């Protein structure tokens, strides 16, 4: 898997745990949603905690865990399944400030939209990374410096910029 951050392929400092694996005593660990409650109760304070969510997760079910989570990873089982984008927006609106990661079959063409929905990083399979190199992801990030929606890519929107220019 390749991890894209700011249009570049970067090293992933997080470790994804299988449900049967012992919880670590240090480092950064990603657990499944089924294991989240157990991890919250038993993980030492020095361990950074992340959770992997299906794109069908109800955001309200995470409310109590949000302050303890440093990473939320949302699964994208297919590039045409956009439910993860909606889930990301809802999680950001709920106040999550940590790293939000899209994981799965996303394409570089979807990168600007992912950033606009609040994602910080995108994890893609090696076959997609082989077809769409770092240069394509960088270009996709740079292609849309502003959007019509107020989001997370840049402060303001195209409409805000037009209103500001008209007021001068």
**pLDDT tens-digit map of 87-128:** 999 999 999 999 999 999 999 999 988 988 899 999 999 999
CA distance 53 to 159: 34
pLDDT digits (tens, 9 = 90+) for 137-152: 999 888 766 666 665 5
Element (H, E) at 39: helix 36-42
CA angle, residues 85, 49, 150, in degrees to nearest 5: 30
User: With 90 as the cut, is the pLDDT of residue 16 above it?
Assistant: yes
User: With 80 as the cut, is the pLDDT of residue 156 above it?
Assistant: no
The CATH-assigned architecture of domain 2-167 is Alpha-Beta Barrel (3.20)
- Tokens 């409409």 sit on residue: 159
Residue 21 phi/psi, 5-degree rounding, is -75, 150
Give domain limits for the chain. Answer: 2-167
User: Residue 45: its pLDDT value, please?
Assistant: 83
User: Residue 136: its pLDDT value, please?
Assistant: 93
pTM score, two decimals? 0.86
């Amino acid at each position: 898997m390749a991890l894209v951050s700011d249009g570049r392929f970067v090293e992933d400092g997080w470790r994804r745990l299988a449900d049967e694996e012992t919880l670590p005593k240090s480092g950064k660990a990603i657990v499944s949603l089924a294991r989240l409650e157990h991890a919250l109760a038993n993980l030492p304070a020095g361990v950074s905690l992340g959770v992997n969510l299906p794109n069908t997760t109800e955001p309200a079910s995470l409310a109590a865990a949000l302050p303890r989570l440093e990473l939320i990873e949302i699964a994208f089982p297919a590039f045409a399944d956009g439910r993860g984008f909606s889930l990301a927006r809802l999680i950001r609106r709920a106040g999550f400030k940590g790293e939000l990661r899209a994981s799965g079959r996303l394409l570089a063409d979807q990168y600007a939209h992912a950033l606009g929905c609040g994602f910080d990083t995108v994890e893609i399979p090696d076959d997609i990374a082989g077809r769409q190199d770092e240069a394509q992801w960088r270009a996709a990030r740079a292609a849309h410096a502003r959007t019509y929606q107020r989001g997370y890519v840049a402060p303001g929107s195209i409409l805000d910029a037009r209103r500001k220019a008209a007021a001068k």
